Every structure is written in structure tokens, then in C-alpha cells.
Amino acid sequence: MLGRRGIAVTLGSLMLVGSALAWAPAGQAMTSEGGSVGCAGRSEGRYDPPLTLLPRPTHVHADVTYACTVTPGRTVSATASFDSDVPEASCVAVSGGRGTETVRYADGGRSLIVYDSATTVRVAGVLVVVQRGRVTEGRGQGHPAQRTVTGLPGELPTECLTSGLRGVSNAVELEIQP
């Protein structure tokens, strides 16, 4: 069980891992209206079929709410929809990094992002998934994108042993690079 100090050490470690995986400092990612965007928010994900201890093909869907900086000093809210078909998913591991995300900004803009790779790191129980891809339509078209999903430590849910884990809530960061 982690105490306050353990949680602080875990989150500090997570920040170091995240900074090592990042493409550019956040201040550089939000420089112009020409495509650079930095977002932070929360996702509510669902698994179909629910995750169990046995790996099987699974569809992952997440609804995301973001606060996005689209130019220095200008932040707009956004909602997003993420979908992926994972060839092998269980409560213990998820393989594959492909997926698509459609981001709809409150100012009327939109970005369609296709992710084609992912790196998964576990630090002191904290799961970090970094997905990389490219914006194929809308705001930031043609620019590289990086999506970082962070799952806080927890015990294996009892649902994994019975009916299956149907969903999860995570922190999400999105960067559309200049």
C-alpha cells in the first residue's frame, strides 16, 4: 500500500518518464494557430467485450474532455472520441498502439488524428501509454501528434475475475506538434 510519500515518489517518477518520452517541451508545442495544440483532460474508456484475465480481441472506445491551448494565452475546451481495435487485451496487458481520435474544439475547429504506434511504461504501478501518430484532417493537418494516457496505480479489479472490466477513467494529454 502506498502512503503519501510513496504516491509523491511515484508521481515524481512518472513525470521523469513522461519528460523522457516527450518530443518537445510543452512551451514549444503551443506556438501558433498553424496547427500546434496542447491539451490536458480526462477520458472515460469502455471495453467491448469487457477485459478479463484471458487475452482476446477487444474494441476500446473513450470519450475525452480536454482544455486545449491553441495559441499562447488562448485556451478552448474540447471533446474527443477515441477508438481502437486491440488484437490482444486483458486486465493484465493490452497490445497494439493503433487507433483514431476525433477532437472537436469549442471554437468550431476539429482534428482527426490517426495513431500508428505506442510505447507502454509501468513505473511503481502507474501505467503510462504514449501513442504517436499524425493529424490527417483539420487543425494541425499533416503535423505529428502524441497522446499520453496515465492510469494511476490500483489493485486488479475484482471484475477481472468475474464478469470482466467494462471501463476505466484516466488522465490524458495531447500534443499536436509544430
Structural domain containing residue 59: 4-176
pLDDT band at 32 (very low <50, low <70, confident <90, very high): very low
Residue 49: pLDDT above 60? yes
Residue 155: pLDDT above 80? no
pTM comes to 0.79
Query: Could you tell me the CA-to-CA distances from 41 to 48, 64, 131 in Å, in that order?
Result: 23, 7, 16
Q: What is the mean pLDDT of residues 24-29?
A: 37
**Higher-scoring residue by pLDDT: 144, 159:** 144
Average pLDDT, the chain: 81
pLDDT band at 91 (very low <50, low <70, confident <90, very high): confident
Cell of 153: 496505480
Structural domains in the chain (count): 1
Q: 4, exposed or middle or buried, with CB in 10 Å at 0-12, 13-18, 19+?
A: exposed
